[in-house]
Structure 1
Amino acid sequence: MNLDHLTEEELNMYLLLKREKIIEDAQNDFYEFCKVLYPSFYKPNRTFLKTICNTLQDFIEDKLINPTTNEPYQNLTLNVPPRHGKSFTIKNLEMWLLGKNNKRQIITVSYSRDLADLFAQQVRDGIDVEASDDLNITYADIFPDTKLKYGDSSKRKWSLEGSERPNYYATSIGSAITGMGATVGVIDDPTKDDSEAFNEDALEKILNWYDNTFASRIEKGGKTILIMTRWSTNDLTGRLLERESSDWYELKLAACLNEQTGEMLCDEIFDIKMYQKRKRTMSPEIFMSNYQQEPIKLTGRLYTHFKTYKKIPVNEHDRPVFTKVIGFVDYADKGKDWTCCVISGVFNNELYILDVLYSQESSDKTEYKLAEIIHKNEVNEVTFEGNAAGSVIARNVEKILRSQFNNHLTTIKTFHQSKNKESRILSMSSTVERLVYFPSNWNDRWNKFYLALISFQRIFKNNKHDDAPDALTGLVELIESGGKPIRAVKSLYSYLKG
């Protein structure tokens, strides 16, 4: 807008009206409030922050409706990657809520007393500012009637003018909460670190404290907000979602939106290079939970340990010493199943996994990719589980191998699996852990396959898919059943690469 034609008086009036409009918007819109006070963080291109702010405001204003009860949600869990402003935004929310209603009572909990005190102090100091007489806008300009009560503003517990009861109380997990209820209860990162996150006793204590202390302080109609870095399905968020999933609104944002394209939630905060570095250096289980909001159920897992190798077995001439290369294919016979092909070199009756195809793509794409991976790895013998569509797929893959790859050496076999799948996978689990070796970087190479195996539960009904362990079990059964060795072994120089 061109303001050059305005007189000084008209310009001042315009700026005054504009300032009043900005203040009015900040009073009524939480995202605008954050933008006004902290414009360097709440930038227009950081759209995920607007999503968080709008979701929090809708939650507080009873606009998030639970489809199960047709009533507003009273509980919200916010799961966002580290350093993406979740705690900062919650502190701003508390300031905004107290500005709109100085009768509100807020209890904030963190994993340590020092962190809780810092949280409370930052909220208090954010409110205790002077109004501005220029173009800058402060909290006091937006909410001029919200002031700390003189003589009642300690670091941990304080009140506002006009309130008969304390408005804010901060404490730590495990501490007593007495003499105060809450219209809004906030738990910010209840778990300190990975050592606590995977300690069952510590996790049980956190849940017991939540049930017996924290929840009892939330007043009727009050709101609970749980924000945390995810660790596993056994953390506080995981347990509450499992126990009472229909009572919680869950907002979760992954750091990486698309690994292939490098699209991130926010490149300015955490770009694809940082993501890839953390993925290489962190424990895969922790990384997927922390940054991708894909927590893994670590207790009750069927497989507890997988062997790895950095280099395949070779002889004194640095040539592979596999007696044969075999593959096993479990083809997806249902829409949501996964086609799983596992290829392995056999040495001393042990299996060194060389390649994996784990896909939910349609059959026309999968058939070609199966032929391609079999040919590329110079497989001697591939066994297809012949149930349902498996036999048809095996014939189609064989045709592609012969006609498009000119491969007449790989033997394609099918068989009908008559044994119970659950009993096979369970009974062979220890054998799988004993005989199978994966490349040391298998998490990066076949991430979804990796996650499917390390999170697979011993109680079968707790699993959505069993394709990965089924194929791996089938591969192990090929060498455990005493199959005849293949004498003609082709050149395996390609496995020396990488």
Structure 2
Amino acid sequence: MNEIRDIDVIKTWTLQSTLNFTRYFFKEKYKRKFVVGKHHVKIAEALDRVFRGESTRLIINIAPRYGKTELAVKNFIAMGLAINPKAKFIHLSYSDDLARDNSRGVQEIIRESSYRRLFPGTMPTSINTRKWFTTEGGGLYAVSSAGQVTGFGAGLVDKEDEEELAAEVEELSSIDNGDFGGAIVIDDPIKPDDARSALVRDKVNQKFETTIRNRVNSRKTPIIIIMQRLDEDDLCGYLQRLEPDEWEVLSLPVIETDENGKETPLWEFKHTLKELQDLKEKNSWVFETQYMQNPKPLTGLMYERGFKTYETIPVTRKHTVKAYIDTADTGADFLCCIIYLETEIGNFILDVYYTQEPMETTEPETARRLSKHEVERATIESNNGGRGFARNVEAQCRLLGNRKTSVTWFHQSENKDVRIFNHSAEVQNLTYFPKGWEHLYPKFYKDITQYMKVGKNAHDDAPDALTGTVEKRNEQPQRLSSIFR
């Protein structure tokens, strides 16, 4: 009788939280305590919200070797099967070997004698680590997130993998009985060594699109992604740009700053502050991305400090609505039109038009935006068709009834790279973007925040035009009417 009562108490305690469950079965399996850090508490709380149905799209960004897989993959899945032996899970990782190893880890937990006593009916029916079921019909399907990137017959293998994964996703998302029915758990979908490859990143992102997102037909089907940040275009970055309001993001940098501005380590048991500072010294880029969850390569960026943002434009003594427009030099370049309020405090960006569309599209659209924002002074670079563009934009403004905007053009003779570099500090000091500008102007944001001081940049149109907004401060332009007399 006492034994039954003890089992009930332990069962209730372990199912109270993911952290309780992990601590208990970690000690049962390894015969030592699971050392709990504050990040484990935060991760467990987020996973508990998934179990309760309060969160269905969860991203957890944490450094490697901080216990994320043990807690958020192996024990989370084992606990899900304890809650509902009929639950089904899909687990993805960057390689089949790693996915299967994690699958084996789940099996080892539920084969523990203590687990079997507490949760009978959840025994695996096979030792297959790719796809297995419990005696109650639940189970796990584990596979690579990227498929076979190289090798003979890769295309065929990829097609078979995607078809099987798609079928598993559809089956999981069809479960809707009001209880927790399982989840898609993605752990390290891309290998750190492959993260710099756009080909591999795109392959992972597109596999998510084609075989997961488009086939999850129930918002109740949870998707959890656990990974260290590796690149701005990794799966986490891709999803947050695409669906900024859909995902709950738990980002856990290894160095935190308290309310007094003092730096503290996230988990001193793993790394002291001195050890973390040494890691940063050895490789600042790896440290910023993988440890601080900041995928922007800070070293070598033109705009290292980031930009100030605003929600409400303050009252100022001076304010002039201006626009700086850089027309595209080649077919691959962008037209960049920045509309801003110039004040004695700085330039408050009101709108950005950044596009590769042809001039028959950009001329009327530029005129429409100038008119909408009641721009007083529009300055256009004339290096490549800018003079004709300026004439046409002014004509379009007048057709729209806009007689307020003064349009002027000029020839930019200074070296573009030198201008951008020399004015970079002023640009950062004097420019205010609207809060959330990374979502309002995603391509422009990327080309500004990833622009490097040294090396080949894909596009310089965005920083070139932004530099122009600072160069033209307090300058009185000529009107086109006076130029062409």
Q: TM-score range by the shorter chain?
A: 0.5 to 0.7
Structure 1 residues 426 and 87, CA, compared in 2 at 3 Å: closer, same or farther? Answer: farther
Counterpart of 1:113 (choices 96, 118, 123) is 96
Q: CA deviation at 1:389?
A: 5.4
Q: CA deviation at 1:426?
A: 13
Q: CA deviation at 1:84?
A: 1.1
Q: CA deviation at 1:430?
A: 1.3
Q: CA deviation at 1:115?
A: 0.7
Counterpart of 2:20 (choices 18, 32, 35) is 32
Give the secondary structure class of the aligned counterpart of 1:78.
Answer: strand
Q: Residue in 2 aligned with 1:168?
A: 140
**Given residue 207 of structure 2, which amino acid in structure 1 is its aligned partner?**
W
**Given residue 430 of structure 1, which amino acid in structure 2 is its aligned partner?**
D
Structure 1 residues 424 and 52, CA, compared in 2 at 3 Å: closer, same or farther? Answer: farther
Q: Residue in 1 aligned with 2:201?
A: 203
Alignment of 1:487-498 (within 5 A): none
Q: Which runs of 5+ in 2 are unaligned?
A: 148-160, 173-181, 314-341, 347-376, 382-409, 424-440, 454-462, 472-485
Deviations, residues 96-125 of structure 1 (Å, cap 9, x unaligned): 001111111111011111111111111112
Q: Residue in 2 aligned with 1:388?
A: 344
Give the secondary structure class of the aligned counterpart of 1:52.
Answer: helix
In 2: Cα distance, 1:18 partner to 1:426 partner? 83
Identity of aligned residues (%): 25
Q: CA deviation at 1:63?
A: 2.4
Q: Residue in 2 aligned with 1:80?
A: 62
**Structure 1 contact 186–225 (Cα < 8 Å) conserved:** yes
Q: Residue in 1 aligned with 2:367?
A: none
Q: CA deviation at 1:234?
A: 0.5
Q: Residue in 2 aligned with 1:287?
A: 287
Q: Residue in 1 aligned with 2:360?
A: none
Structure 1 residues 108 and 428, CA, compared in 2 at 3 Å: closer, same or farther? Answer: farther
Q: Residue in 2 aligned with 1:459?
A: 444
Asked if 1:61 corresponds to 2:52, the answer is yes
Structure 1 residues 198 and 432, CA, compared in 2 at 3 Å: closer, same or farther? Answer: farther
In 2: Cα distance, 1:264 partner to 1:459 partner? 34
**Structure 1 contact 108–171 (Cα < 8 Å) conserved:** yes
In 1: Cα distance, 2:250 partner to 2:97 partner? 27
**Given residue 291 of structure 2, which amino acid in structure 1 is its aligned partner?**
Y
Q: Residue in 2 aligned with 1:158?
A: 132
Structure 1 residues 123 and 334, CA, compared in 2 at 3 Å: closer, same or farther? Answer: closer
Alignment of 1:64-463 (within 5 A): 64=55, 74-89=56-71, 90-130=73-113, 138-149=114-125, 152-163=126-137, 167-175=139-147, 176-177=161-162, 178=164, 179-180=167-168, 181-182=171-172, 183-194=182-193, 196-216=194-214, 218=216, 220=218, 221-258=220-257, 261-284=262-285, 286-296=286-296, 303=302, 388=344, 430-431=417-418, 459=444
Give the secondary structure class of the aligned counterpart of 2:245.
Answer: helix
**Given residue 87 of structure 1, which amino acid in structure 2 is its aligned partner?**
T
Structure 1 residues 144 and 421, CA, compared in 2 at 3 Å: closer, same or farther? Answer: farther
Equivalent pairs counted in the alignment come to: 320
In 2: Cα distance, 1:279 partner to 1:424 partner? 45
Structure 1 residues 216 and 120, CA, compared in 2 at 3 Å: closer, same or farther? Answer: farther
**What's the TM-score, normalizing by structure 2?**
0.56
**Given residue 388 of structure 1, which amino acid in structure 2 is its aligned partner?**
E
Asked if 1:52 corresponds to 2:8, the answer is no
Q: CA deviation at 1:429?
A: 5.2
In 1: Cα distance, 2:184 partner to 2:283 partner? 32
**Given residue 264 of structure 1, which amino acid in structure 2 is its aligned partner?**
P
**What's the TM-score, normalizing by structure 1?**
0.55
Deviations, residues 377-421 of structure 1 (Å, cap 9, x unaligned): xxxxxxxxx97259xxxxxxxxxxxxxxxxxxxxxxxxxxx9979
In 1: Cα distance, 2:294 partner to 2:380 partner? 26
Give the secondary structure class of the aligned counterpart of 2:107.
Answer: helix
**Structure 2 contact 301–449 (Cα < 8 Å) conserved:** no
In 2: Cα distance, 1:277 partner to 1:170 partner? 37
In 2: Cα distance, 1:97 partner to 1:29 partner? 11
**Given residue 142 of structure 2, which amino acid in structure 1 is its aligned partner?**
A
In 1: Cα distance, 2:413 partner to 2:250 partner? 35
In 1: Cα distance, 2:413 partner to 2:58 partner? 37
Query: What's the Cα RMSD here?
Result: 4.5
